[in-house]
Amino acid sequence: MAFIPSESEELAFMKNMMNNIDNRLDRMDNRFNDIERLIQWNVVQVNFGQLEQRINAVSLEFQYVYAVPQAAVQNRKKIFIANYDGDYQNSGTKLYQAIVQKQGTFQENLGTSVLRYTKNDRRKTQIFLLGVMQLLLQAVKVEMGYLLVN
């Protein structure tokens, strides 16, 4: 007569409970990963949101140079130059560097951040980067306008 060991009811119950606990911990890990990803993305949003605001504000001032009557053009040029000198802070160059250059120890490049945030969703990444390129072109117009006006 061979002795074949079988699981006791207690052991089967404990294995089942351990599986349930493991599943719950895995779900919590996923939630924490999502939260960490969002926190990291919020840092990116704050950094690039400031660049976007500066570019948009100075771009609007540049548009006003050509939207006012001829008598007010010189005043609008002065306002544009003052805004560029005081608030622009090389935002176009910073945006360009964030896109194309490998970043240092404390910051990753924008493409890597977008891929992580979108969970490698190609369509969402393309849409976002298209917006970034439009913003970069707007910054180029601002910087060229500054060179022309100044």
- Domain ranges (residues) in the chain: 9-149
Q: What is the predicted pLDDT for the residue at 6?
A: 73
DSSP for the chain, please give it. Answer: --------HHHHHHHHHHHHHHHHHHHHHHHHHHHHHHHHHHHHHHHHHHHHHHHHHHHHHHHHHHHS-GGGHHHHHHHHHHHIIIIITTHHHHHHHHHHSPP-SS---HHHHHHHHTTT-HHHHHHHHHHHHHHHHHHHHHHHHHHHH-
Flag whether pLDDT at 38 surpasses 70.
Answer: no
Flag whether pLDDT at 73 surpasses 70.
Answer: yes
d(CA 91, CA 103): 16
pTM of structure: 0.71
Flag whether pLDDT at 30 surpasses 80.
Answer: no
Q: What is the predicted pLDDT for the residue at 90?
A: 94
Mean pLDDT of 66-85: 95
Q: What is the predicted pLDDT for the residue at 103?
A: 65
